Structure 1
């Protein structure tokens, strides 16, 4: 065999030896049967906590206190609040308890009286009952009910008051010419400030009667209105009426006398004229009965 042939044969033998050695070196040595742990052959299953599968849903509850009292005056707008947390798919209804009349369901008004309306903004938890142009007959208990099993409710009471004007002092005032006439009118039993207060002298509105010396100042926040005439004259005598836009008016009669006895002036006022008239008529009436 030639020298080159011998070299090729040596290379082939060397490659075969290398491949066998590498295969034997990489094969893992088997473990004795006694060293195999049984737990490697067991199947284990882990479940997540139930709270993770079914998260806790917050409980529905009312944020508005039960037996809440709302006071409103006649002619104004009353707002009865009903705030419900976590209402979910619940539906809110308003019921008037004195006659169990269904007023609203959701945002739909079921009453023929369109003064009642449910107010609710999207994503809000407040379901307010709005009553426009409140009347005395609207006073009473109202139920805010949420549909559930069983239904849950709270009750609110609407109190209705009648605002009225009140002029300080007696119902009649006596002054001499040149004296200062000052009248103060306050609005009492009111739940909201008046938008305006008008003063009338007899049948004429005098809020802006500056030429005749009349000065009117009104403070709506304080519910007060003052009328001032620095130098009253005979032309300023008569009936004065304070008329707030949201209250019952009040009146006072002013006498302007010139050196006369104020007691004698009483006969000139409307109320005293009527009393004197009946005093004069009574003796004649009795005399006619006697004659019969």
Structure 2
């Protein structure tokens, strides 16, 4: 007999970086559940998310089946929306992701930090394609 354990995962983790003012879009996938997960709760920093909170702009879309997905959408992200979000299916293991909301100053720092990580192979390919294009256009 082969027993398959249910698996819960928040896609995009363990860390997600979202620009301030953007929509936070978190997707929780529950696989191998003997029955569709009856209830999937979401929490932010260990507090259950209330869809009636004064913050507003929070919605949830859940699709049940052999694989159940739950999408948490939080519009107009602000820095205080940063933290750990957990997807907690009833009677199953939870999964979490740490969300970082980047204000204007941090966006520039993140862009600069990632700018140096471009593969030399990609740069070489882009330069080669540019030169070939110029050659075909008769510019060189």
Q: Verify same fold: TM over 0.5.
A: yes
Alignment of 1:116-131 (within 5 A): none
Paired residue for 1:262, among 107, 110, 117? Answer: 110
Q: Does 1:231 align with 2:79?
A: no
Give structure 1 regions of 4+ aligned residues with deviation exceeding 4 angstroms.
Answer: none
Q: Decide whether the 8 Å contact of 1:209 with 1:215 is kept in 2.
A: no
Q: Decide whether the 8 Å contact of 1:196 with 1:244 is kept in 2.
A: yes
Query: How far 1:160 sits from its partner (Å)?
Result: 2.4
Listed as ranges, the gaps of 5+ residues in structure 2 are: 113-140
Within 2, Cα distance between the matches of 1:185 and 1:248?
12
Within 2, Cα distance between the matches of 1:160 and 1:214?
37
Paired residue for 2:62, among 214, 218, 224? Answer: 218
1:127-156: CA deviations, max 9, x gaps?
xxxxxxxxxxxxxxxxxxxxxxxxxxxxxx
The residue that corresponds to 1:249 in the other structure is: 94
Within 1, Cα distance between the matches of 2:60 and 2:45?
16
Query: How far 1:218 sits from its partner (Å)?
Result: 1.7
Query: How far 1:262 sits from its partner (Å)?
Result: 2.9
- SS of structure 1 residue aligned to 2:77: coil
Listed as ranges, the gaps of 5+ residues in structure 1 are: 1-156, 265-292
Query: How far 1:177 sits from its partner (Å)?
Result: 1.2
Paired residue for 2:33, among 186, 190, 194? Answer: 190
- SS of structure 1 residue aligned to 2:42: strand
Q: Decide whether the 8 Å contact of 1:207 with 1:215 is kept in 2.
A: no
The residue that corresponds to 1:173 in the other structure is: 16
- SS of structure 1 residue aligned to 2:35: coil
Q: Say which is worse superposed, 174-183 or 214-223, in terms of deviation.
A: 214-223
Q: Decide whether the 8 Å contact of 2:23 with 2:76 is kept in 1.
A: yes
Q: Decide whether the 8 Å contact of 1:163 with 1:246 is kept in 2.
A: no
